[in-house]
Amino acid sequence: MKTKVEHIAFPTRQARSEYVARRFGEYFRGSLLDVGCFEAPLRKMLADAKYTGVDIAGAPDIELNLEGCQRLPFDDGSHDTVICIDVLEHLDNLHLIFDELVRVARKNIIVSLPNSWRDARRPIERGGGDFLHYGLPEDAPVDRHKWFFNFTQARSFLQARASSLNLEVVELFGTEKPKNGLIRALRMLLYPGDKYLNRYVQTVWAVFAKG
| pLDDT confidence of residue 1 | 66
Mean pLDDT of the 54-82 span: 96
Tell me which DSSP letter residue 195 carries: H
pLDDT-derived band at 147 (thresholds 50, 70, 90) equals very high
pLDDT-derived band at 140 (thresholds 50, 70, 90) equals confident
Q: What percent of the chain has pLDDT over 90?
A: 83
Cross-strand bridge partners of residue 207: 110, 171
Q: Are 140 and 151 within 8 A, CB to CB?
A: no
User: pTM for the full model?
Assistant: 0.94
Mean pLDDT of the 18-33 span: 97
pLDDT-derived band at 2 (thresholds 50, 70, 90) equals confident
Q: Which residues contact 12 (CB under 8 A, 6 or more apart)?
A: none
CA 199 – CA 174 distance, rounded (Å): 12
19: nearest Cα among 38, 39, 41, 3: 41
SS3 state of residue 75: coil
| Domains delineated in the chain | 4-210 (3.40.50.150)
Alpha helices in the chain (DSSP H): 13-23, 42-45, 94-104, 116-125, 151-164, 181-190, 194-200
| pLDDT confidence of residue 142 | 78
